[in-house]
Structure 1
Amino acid sequence: MKNILKFCLSLLMTMMIFSCNDREEGDLIIGTDRIKIDSVKIAQDSMDVLTTQTIKTYSNYSGNCEGFYGYDYVHKNDLTREVTSYNFKTDAACTEIVTRASLINFRPQQAGDYIFKFWNGLNSSGEDIWIEKTIKVQ
């Protein structure tokens, strides 16, 4: 009787442990990588100090298996920013290429001409290509 009870308890515990895994295909992130920013939309090329403007970047992703992960936003100096976008990849089956927008909120703390460099891939020599945009802050 005790052996049957021990067996049933261990079977019940095993079932509880494995039933908690509700992960479906595509839930597992298998990697991240930088992805080129294909285009940039800046609504206003001039703005005031301490106001906020949203900058949109557009990149192409494989549908169903890739998405936006985040930005690497580097202050090269007081007025120059380098922006690199990163994607995540999952274990889901990929579908057709889709273009998605991601947002950066820019809130300058001082006046000047801010230069934004958005990473657009590598040239044939392996050097970085940048899309440059300028925002005049008054």
Structure 2
Amino acid sequence: MKKIVFLVSLVCVTLFNSCSVDDSAADFQIEFIPIETVEIPTEFNFGETHIITVTYKRPTTCHSFSSFQYVPEDNNVRNVAVINFVTLGSDCETLEDDFQSKSFSFSVLDTNSYTFKFWQGKDDNGQDMYLIYEVPVTN
């Protein structure tokens, strides 16, 4: 029994030491990327799911798509932003015209119109800028 407890303890110590967290090991960060264009239906059908596609400009070879930030607000307002992983400490090349398109599904659960605000970055005063679409819902 003592041998089993010793072996389990040895394995646990080895695992904890081999998985130590080192702050300097963080080799990526997340970054919001401005949305350039949006493909969105001119109207939604109640109870159906629609595809919305956004296009953004990938700044460097170290940027890769992570996800969407999708934040619902009151009165059927939806804020949408693109999130990229950015690899740090790599030899990144600046990209001139590398446009990426990503889509998400949107289920229409309300008969009132929806307003989408797609994040386009910040202006010279640090204020958020948006592409805004109001989409009516039909029955």
- Calculate the TM-score normalised by the size of structure 2: 0.72
The whole-number CA distance in structure 1 between the counterparts of 2:71 and 2:121 is 17
Q: Which residue of 1 aligns with 2:93?
A: 94
The whole-number CA distance in structure 1 between the counterparts of 2:122 and 2:80 is 14
Asked if the contact 1:83–1:118 (Cα under 8 Å) also holds between the matched residues in 2, the reply is yes
Counterpart code for 2:131: I
Deviations 1:63-96 (Å, cap 9, x if unpaired)?
Answer: 5321111111111114110111111112353252
Q: Which residue of 2 aligns with 1:32?
A: 30
**Greater shift after overlay, 123-132 or 62-71?**
62-71
Structure 1: 5+ residue runs without aligned partners?
1-27
The whole-number CA distance in structure 1 between the counterparts of 2:59 and 2:126 is 23
Q: Which residue of 1 aligns with 2:39?
A: 41
Q: Say if 1:30 and 1:134 are closer, same or farther in 2 by CA, change over 3 A.
A: same
Deviations 1:40-75 (Å, cap 9, x if unpaired)?
Answer: 111x21121121111111111135321111111111
Are 1:60 and 2:57 matched, yes or no?
yes
Q: Which runs of 4+ in 1 moved over 3 A?
A: none
Q: Which residue of 2 aligns with 1:7?
A: none
Provide the aligned C-alpha RMSD in A. 1.7
- Calculate the TM-score normalised by the size of structure 1: 0.73
Asked if the contact 1:35–1:59 (Cα under 8 Å) also holds between the matched residues in 2, the reply is yes
Structure 2: 5+ residue runs without aligned partners?
1-25
Asked if the contact 1:35–1:87 (Cα under 8 Å) also holds between the matched residues in 2, the reply is yes
